[in-house]
Homo-oligomer: A and B are copies of this chain.
Amino acid sequence: MVSQGDAFCPGHVTAFFEVCEDPDPERKGSRGAGLSLSVGVRTTARVREAAQASLDVFVNGRRQRAEVTELAASKVLGSGPYEVKILSETPLPVSQGFGVSAAAALSTAMALDDALGLGMRREDLVRIAHVAEIECGTGLGDVVPASIGGMDLRLEPGAPSHGVVRTFDVREEVLLAVLGPEIPTRSVIRDPAKVAAINRAGSTCVAEFARDPTLPRLFDLGNWFAEETGLASKTVREVVRASRMFGRASMTMLGNSVFAIGNRDQMAPFYLRFGTLIRCEVDNEGARIL
């Protein structure tokens, strides 16, 4: 007998952040702010009892090593003798700051809990996905806000019961433009000099945003953060500047990409000069069973 569960987790973009180290992965993470996206990862978990336990992950129909997803799945599964297939679909590219690994891990944890009828608490599933992301070094703060949706201000880092997050409903169309090659998150957050610059600028942004948590402010502070930390490439800086003609854009942390709001008809042809463009909205619901 095969049982199945389906879940969706929004993608998530971060405008600015601060790395918060802690030996406990539940407490480690980031402060910062961003948006949850109506495009994300949709996962089907198929489970059956078997003599030999196995776990296979397919992303967009291809078998794939997906370490965050595998780690999250193994934490939900425990030592049960299950044959598990994880089938994830996403239109988002990886390593472009769209929170794909977080969304894959959380949608997997939720779909698997549903398929097995475990009835785990939602916050425990979020904790599992957060810890998997931290342990793999692929992200710091996407799981918790993507679980809630909306525009987020992460005041304290970490998994539920440690992390403190305020969220705000936002009805807005968002354009995601990919401008250059991937940036593996690990390569930045494991570099002490980069982290020092990030934390100086990030803590200022968090304090400023807490005083006026509005969408225009998210973009203003994101632009300042990208310049101040030196994380933005020349192309990203130029695109952000040019976008002010028709709206506002900010770099995705961490990717060679921007997210933007404004006049789609004028912005789309401009962004397309660089390659790939994805249209979506802000997701105000957060991760959910389908």
Chain A, interface SS category: mixed
Which residues of B sit under 8 angstroms from A277, Cβ to Cβ?
A: 268, 272, 276-279
Mark A176-193 against chain B: 1 for CB-CB distance below 8 A, else 0: 001001101000000000
Interface hit among A59-67, A106-114, A162-170: A59-67
For window 73-105 of chain A, which residues contact chain B by CB distance below 8 Å? 89, 91, 93-95
Asked if A7 is at the interface of the complex by the 8 Å CB criterion, the answer is no
- Knowing A182-B61, A275-B39, say if A91 contacts B93 (CB, 8 Å): yes
Flag if B265 contacts A60 (CB, 8 Å).
Answer: no
Asked if A122 is at the interface of the complex by the 8 Å CB criterion, the answer is no
- Specify the chain B residue showing the minimal Cβ separation from A272: B279
Copies of this subunit: 2
Which residues of B sit under 8 angstroms from A184, Cβ to Cβ?
A: 61
Flag if B272 contacts A175 (CB, 8 Å).
Answer: yes
Asked if A273 is at the interface of the complex by the 8 Å CB criterion, the answer is yes
- Specify the chain B residue showing the minimal Cβ separation from A89: B181
Which residues of B sit under 8 angstroms from A288, Cβ to Cβ?
A: none
CB proximity of A168 to chain B, nearest CB, Å: 25
Asked if A269 is at the interface of the complex by the 8 Å CB criterion, the answer is yes
Asked if A48 is at the interface of the complex by the 8 Å CB criterion, the answer is no
Which of B63, B182, B273, B278 makes the CB contact (< 8 A) with A276?
B278
CB proximity of A92 to chain B, nearest CB, Å: 9
Asked if A264 is at the interface of the complex by the 8 Å CB criterion, the answer is yes
Which residues of B sit under 8 angstroms from A268, Cβ to Cβ?
A: 268-269, 272, 277
Which residues of B sit under 8 angstroms from A63, Cβ to Cβ?
A: 64-65
For window 267-290 of chain A, which residues contact chain B by CB distance below 8 Å? 268-269, 272-280
CB proximity of A152 to chain B, nearest CB, Å: 23
